[in-house]
Structures are given as structure tokens and as C-alpha cells.
Amino acid sequence: MLDQIKKIFTGSEEEIPMNTNRKPDISREKSAALYEKSKTYFPGGVNSPVRAFKSVYGTPLFIQKGDGCYIWDADGNQFIDFCASWGPLILGHNHAKVREKVTEVMQNGMSFGAPTALENELAELIIKNNRFVEKIRFTSSGTEAVMSAIRLARGYTNRNKIIKFEGCYHGHSDSLLVKAGSGLVTFGETSSAGVPKSFAEETIVIALNDKQALTEAFAQFQGDVAAVIIEGIPANNGLLIQDQDYIEFLRESCTANGALLIFDEVITGFRVGFEGAAAHYGIKPDIVTYGKIIGGGLPVGMYGASAEIMSHISPEGGVYQAGTLSGNPVAMAAGIAALTELSRSGFYKELNVKAQEFVASIQRFATARNYKFKVFTIGSIFWFAFTDKEKIQTAEDIDPTSMEKFKVMHRELLNRGIYLGPSGYEVGFVSAAHTKIELEKAKRAIFEALDLVFNPHP
């Protein structure tokens, strides 16, 4: 088997053995018992819906601990983790530097509701190494950061409407839980109960990668569009990588129409590089939001812009935004330790090369087998898509029936010690803690899982 695998790594198309052996399902007794209990406490047994395993087999695994690229569940099953807490853990689990800094800072107390030097320290790490923000404000989650960025854009421009894209996720604030209605340019429709229709009417939802829709939206709501918000690289509904040309068009259209361009980089910030997608495209957004990685695994979000735009935030300006635990010292400590590691020269190059090699050999395997399977990828982000399309750039391009295949793949990977987020619409992450050894193991498991997905009856 190893020899054949080597051939795949080197791109040879020689004979590859078929493997259609299902493995027994992992033991889930303890996780299942914990889930029964958690259902009595929390709606659906969870504190965030995607954790509920609604679109994959089985019940949620309750995680006991993580170390490096590994996690262990309550039943003692060990997994190589590609979910990384949904993105924050670019250094892997329980990184020594992060743990030590957090432990050190915790000795002095956990929260003061007054400024600390740690906030300056994390801000300096970010601002000194980033061309896109001059002043920032810390929040406690990505949702909060984006919600505040929207308020800032409205306050700054004295306009009401925002334009967002179908297939982009920006957290769960009211203005952003809105999906496309019917027709090319329409008001959004709420995508959650509890969001008033009148709120949704302030959000215009259009398709990604559609210049005409954007032009029409600006024309229809002329003079009232405060901002266009897009994920730096849309990575919450598959990985919908946009063309350079389109992002440039967005930038130009915003400027021409007096609207602000917001890059929501909660997932791409410090992931595709220290300066995120803005640097990847070489385009300066007016407001940027970060989250996930900047907290090193603790809850932190952040928005930033030019000093001039940020001067509109209270107490300097009239846009109110606050937080009891904002800039929390323990969370700042984790962020400082994590970003210090990320700012070392060569960090991203090494990580991205490793991830790209991993992804390329998976793609070679699938291509050699003629499987309708494509790995979309950028930096250390990857997304497994059961498709034969060369590009997927809009939410509509994703075939919902392909998720049945992901479901089988997810089960087979869990049974082989590989943990992916429990939904085929979610991306996976390679972290600095994944070594070649674990990536080889993971590849072998992925090859076997793909064989089972595509040859269910040997």
C-alpha cells in the first residue's frame, strides 16, 4: 500500500489499489451519554448549532482535550483535527507559548474593566505589522466585531443600507441574518425567525462574482448604501475564491458610490497571511474585522480602520460600542502569544507549503481515480467539494445533493481517526502543529474514505 501511495504523491498514474473496507464505527458511549444530558440543558444539546452533527452521521463527540494537531473525545478516541475550533487554532491545540503566557497573566487576576498594558501590546503587534488598520477596537467575538463595523459604516456615512453577498457569513447579528430574495436585486429576506422584516429591508443581498448585480444595487439605492461587506475570501459556505478582477471592481464601485468597503476577515485574517485577504488581493478595505486567530483560542474579535474613520467611535465620536469584557487581559495574553509566533519570518510560507502539498496529493489521488471530487484551497484552508466544476465562486454553484457524499466521508474519516467539522459546507484547516507524519496518515485515511464514498458496493 505504501508504495502505491508514494506513486500517488509523486503524481504517477500507475495502478492504485481499491480499498472498500468499511471500518467499525468508533465507540461513542460516553459522548452519547453526555449528549443525552446536554439536551436537557441546551436547545439541541449544544451552544452553537453547527456542533450538533445534524448533517452527518451519529451524535456529537464531546471533546476531552487537545494537544498539537490531536484531539481526544470522552471515549478516549484520538483524532487528527482539521477543524481547529473552526479556525482559531493555527498553532494547534494547547500551544506551549500560548498556555504559558495565559497562565502567567492569570496570576494577576482575570478582568478589571479598566485598561491594561496588554491591550496596547496586542494592538501594537497588529497595527505595526498591518497596512490596513491605523486604529482598532477589541470586542469579544467575531459577531460583535462585524455588527459594530456595520454600525460604524452607517454612522460614518449617514446612510442606512448595506450590501452583502449570498454565501458569506458574518456572524449572527440581525442585519446580517439575511438571505437573497427572488430576483436579481432585491431586499433581503430574513434567514432566521426573530429578525424583523423591516431590519432585513436595510440589507441588500446579491450573488458573489456578479458585477452587474452590484452595479444595479448601487443604482437602485443610490446615495443610501453605507457599505458593502464581503468575507475577505468567502470560507463559511464552501470556499468561494473570488477573482482579483472582481474584488478590484468592488473596491472601485464602493469608492465611486461613496460607500465603505468592509472586509470581514474573521476567518481569513492571520490565516492566509499576517495581513489576511486584503494583502492577498493587494486591496485596501475601509474597515476590517478580525476574530478567531487573534484570540489564540480565547474569545476576541476586533474591528479597525483609518484613524479618521475610527474617530467616529465613542468616546471620541458618536457611534456607540462597548463591552464589559472587551480587551480582557487573559484573552489579550493568548492573542499576544499567538500573534508573536505568527509574526516570525517564514511562518506562513512553511505552513502554506505544507498545506498545499497535502491538498495537491489528495487532488492527484482523486483525479487519478476519476472521482468527481475537487479540493478548493488557499493557504492553509481547504474545502472538499464533490463536484466536477473547475471553479465554485457562488453559493448557487454548490450542489446540495453532493452533501450526501460528504456525510459518508465524514463518518469514514472519524472511524479512521480524522476529525473534520461536521458539515460539508465547512472548510478545514491545516495548522502549524500538523507534521508530515500526521498529514501522511490523514492522506491515507482520506484516500480510503474516498474509495468508499465512490465505490460503496465492492
Ligand X SMILES: *Cc1c(COP(=O)(O)O)cnc(C)c1O
Residues annotated as catalytic (active site), given as ranges: 169, 264, 292
Residue 233 CA to residue 273 CA, distance in Å, equals 12
474617530: which residue's cell?
Answer: 311
Determine, following the binding rule CB under 6 A, whether residue 421 of this chain makes contact with ligand X: no
Look up residue 343 and give its three cell numbers: 509574526
137 phi, psi to nearest 5 deg? -140, 130
Determine, following the binding rule CB under 6 A, whether residue 297 of this chain makes contact with ligand X: no
CA distances from 152 to 279, 320, 344, 433 (A): 23, 9, 33, 37
Helices 347-368 and 2-9 cross at an angle (nearest 10°) of 110
Provide, rounded to whole angstroms, the least separation between the CB of residue 250 and ligand X.
Answer: 16
362 phi, psi to nearest 5 deg? -65, -45
Contact residue for ligand X among 95, 159, 170, 271 (CB under 6 A):
170
Contact residue for ligand X among 119, 231, 412, 426 (CB under 6 A):
231
Determine, following the binding rule CB under 6 A, whether residue 226 of this chain makes contact with ligand X: no
Residue 434 CA to residue 288 CA, distance in Å, equals 29
Residue 262 CA to residue 351 CA, distance in Å, equals 27
Q: Which is nearer to ligand X, 85 or 116 (CB)?
A: 85
CA 250 vs. chain centroid, Å, equals 21
Determine, following the binding rule CB under 6 A, whether residue 429 of this chain makes contact with ligand X: no
Contact residue for ligand X among 77, 130, 148, 236 (CB under 6 A):
236
Determine, following the binding rule CB under 6 A, whether residue 430 of this chain makes contact with ligand X: no
Contact 91, 434 (CB under 8 A): no
Provide, rounded to whole angstroms, the least separation between the CB of residue 170 and ligand X.
Answer: 5
Contact residue for ligand X among 82, 156, 165, 169 (CB under 6 A):
169
Look up residue 326 and give its three cell numbers: 472587551
Provide, rounded to whole angstroms, the least separation between the CB of residue 169 and ligand X.
Answer: 5
Provide, rounded to whole angstroms, the least separation between the CB of residue 291 and ligand X.
Answer: 5
**Site map 127..166 versus ligand X, x via CB under 6 A:** --------------xxx--x--------------------
Provide, rounded to whole angstroms, the least separation between the CB of residue 173 and ligand X.
Answer: 9
| CA quadruple 349, 355, 423, 94: dihedral sign | negative
Determine, following the binding rule CB under 6 A, whether residue 273 of this chain makes contact with ligand X: no
Q: Which residues bind ligand X (CB under 6 A)?
A: 141-143, 146, 169-171, 231, 236, 264, 266-267, 291-292, 301
